[in-house]
Amino acid sequence: MEELCFIAACSGERTKRKDKAKGQSGRISGRISGRKSKRKSGGEAELVSGPFPVRGGSFKIWEGGPMDAYLLLENGAEFHGCFIGPEKELISEIVFNTSMSGYLELVTDPSYTGQAVVLSYPLIGNYGVCREDMESERPLLSALLVRELAELESNWRSEGNLRDFLIRYDIPGISGLDTRAVIKQLREHGTMNGLISGRHYEGEEREALLRRIRDYRVRDAVRRAGRKEISEYPPSGDGGMWTAERPRFRVALFDFGAKQNMIRSLQKRGCHVTLYPPATRAESILRFAPDGILLSNGPGDPAEERELIGEVRRLYESEIPIFAICLGHQLMALAVGAKTYRLKYGHRGGNQPVKDIESGRVYISSQNHGYAVDAKSMNPEIAAELFRNVNDGSNEGFRYLRKRILSVQFHPEACPGPGDSAFLFDRFMDMMEAGHER
């Protein structure tokens, strides 16, 4: 049966073609986003220009057009598009994000470690990429799946295009997907695993592959997402009033996959930030005697991080003010005996409404998580629910009683998304100030 499909932004213009979906690979032309390439031995290519050069990487250039790509979900649903980066075959957890902009921040968010991300907005890449917007040193997601990739970027800040960026970091992507249909599958059936491949599988081989896809689990995500060594970040705000030798506060950031804007949000408030890798023991952080501790965001199932839960418990037992965000929020809840559960398809986007239970005010927040804390499992003598998701009623934050601890499920640092809740960093400053006065 012939399938009529549109391959969007795989070459320089929108093309229409017939495809028999028999796994016959297309061909990638010798030009990538208008940048010339030259043939190297073994079919490898070297980009002549661009800020993200590829030197003998795995991306191969062929004459004739784009290579076919397939997304096979664990329930058997299959979608067709074309590769926009390295041609790879891999199994990954498939999630979606509804943000309309900020794709570079999304691609470089460490919380996506081990996940392939489907973007719901139909046109991606139109304003290029800029290193200043990256939320980590390199992307850690498995793949990027889009409806249409813009071939020409237009932005005075742009340092290159998204296609070259994916090639530079060896991240496969698929363009031309019916992303609405993919997201509908994920919404109706929940988050699923999937296979990204240049082949269309059939028969017994397909059935065996589906069993492998269903058995896939993301492993050691936090260890992969966090930094590998201790790092120092001096203050940057208030016109130089605060310095590395004389900061407003000294903050220990326990890094489970921290976004860069989390660090910047502390720096511009006069904080000297010492970042600790996820393998750090609580005793090492407490020996530093910080004014406050920030537990960062990160990837994976929080209940599987038993060692981290134990370290967070020891931090909880100290008298140091703590601000916990996303995964840090979940680990803190688990450390005091609460439980977490997996959301059907997660909260990933820049328009999630959360309600402040004490004031009744609603804030629009940026979110990226697939698990939530069961508020009913929290001991009411330990913490009071502070924020709640307006859409599904799931927990979005706690205020810990008799402790200077605040935790939220959403991202007050945004990037991308609204900065409505950035005031929570100021509340953290107040907590540390109160600690100085005691």
Q: For the chain, which domains are there?
A: 3-218 (3.50.30.20), 222-437 (3.40.50.880)
Closest CA to 400 of 344, 305, 335, 307: 335
Q: What is the reported pLDDT for 264?
A: 96
Q: What is the reported pLDDT for 65?
A: 61
Q: Where do we find the tokens 């506060």?
A: 249
Number of Cβ atoms within 10 Å of the Cβ of 337: 11
Q: How many CA atoms lie within 13 A of 234 on its CB side?
A: 9
Return the structure tokens found at 419.
């900065």
Q: Distance (Å, rounded) from C-alpha 181 to C-alpha 338?
A: 36
pTM of the model: 0.85
Q: Check 87, 93, 396, 413 and give the catalytic one.
A: 413
Q: Distance (Å, rounded) from C-alpha 128 to C-alpha 251?
A: 34
Q: Distance (Å, rounded) from C-alpha 389 to C-alpha 383?
A: 17
Q: Check 5, 10, 271, 326 and give the catalytic one.
A: 326
Q: What is the reported pLDDT for 238?
A: 63
Q: What is the reported pLDDT for 260?
A: 96
Q: Distance (Å, rounded) from C-alpha 216 to C-alpha 225?
A: 19
Q: What is the reported pLDDT for 243?
A: 83
Is 347 a catalytic site residue?
A: no
329's enclosing H/E stretch is helix 327-335
Return the structure tokens found at 100.
């309309």
Return the structure tokens found at 171.
């991240």
- Report helix, strand or coil for 354: strand
CB of 163 closer than 8 Å to CB of 171: no
Residues in the chain: 438
CB of 189 closer than 8 Å to CB of 54: no
Closest CA to 251 of 229, 239, 269: 269
Q: What is the reported pLDDT for 436?
A: 73
Q: Where are the alpha helices (DSSP H) in 70-218?
A: 103-107, 162-168, 179-189, 203-215
Is 369 a catalytic site residue?
A: no
Is 10 a catalytic site residue?
A: no
CB of 70 closer than 8 Å to CB of 199: yes
Could you tell me the sign of the dihedral formed by the alpha carbons of 425, 426, 428, 429, in that order? positive
List of the chain residues with pLDDT < 50? 1-63
